[in-house]
A = this chain, B = another copy of it.
Amino acid sequence: MEKEHNLSKNQKIIFDIIDKSGGPMKAYSILFDVQKKGIKAPLQVYRALDKLVEIGKIHKIESRNAFIACQNSSCQISKATAFSICESCENVSEISNSKLSKYLSNFSDDSGMKYRKYNLEFFGLCKKCKSK
């Protein structure tokens, strides 16, 4: 059973706007959209984002400085994330491929490093953009 996280007011507002958008959103674009709901300062947004990332409800797309709702209800620990990013239309989707995640979660080499977490970003052209 997964742990239930009761989101606070700001966390809910910010999660909902990202989730509804269906794609990655940038912090200041979120800020702009939630001004009408009383969230006026960047820090309010960043604090909610930090928490949401921590509990796995959203992920940060590092190469884009953007945040996307988790599309994979089972990955609430956020320790194994993979995304595909279209370099043309900037569409992003979360890859949920159990072979891939097994392969990467079990990866180890002779560096002596203990791997705890990974983030993988694939870049290319999505179906639509390929056929243009």
Please encode chain A, from 85 to 113, with 1 for each CB lying within 8 Å of some chain B CB and 0 for all others.
Answer: 01100000101010010011001010111
Does A43 interact with chain B (Cβ within 8 Å)? no
Please encode chain A, from 117 to 132, with 1 for each CB lying within 8 Å of some chain B CB and 0 for all others.
Answer: 1111111111100100
How far does the Cβ of A126 sit from chain B's closest Cβ, in whole Å? 5
Does A2 interact with chain B (Cβ within 8 Å)? no
How far does the Cβ of A96 sit from chain B's closest Cβ, in whole Å? 9
Given contact pairs A62-B63, A111-B84, A121 touches B124 in the complex (Cβ within 8 A): no
A residues engaging B (CB < 8 A)? 62-63, 84, 86-87, 93, 95, 97, 100, 103-104, 107, 109, 111-127, 130
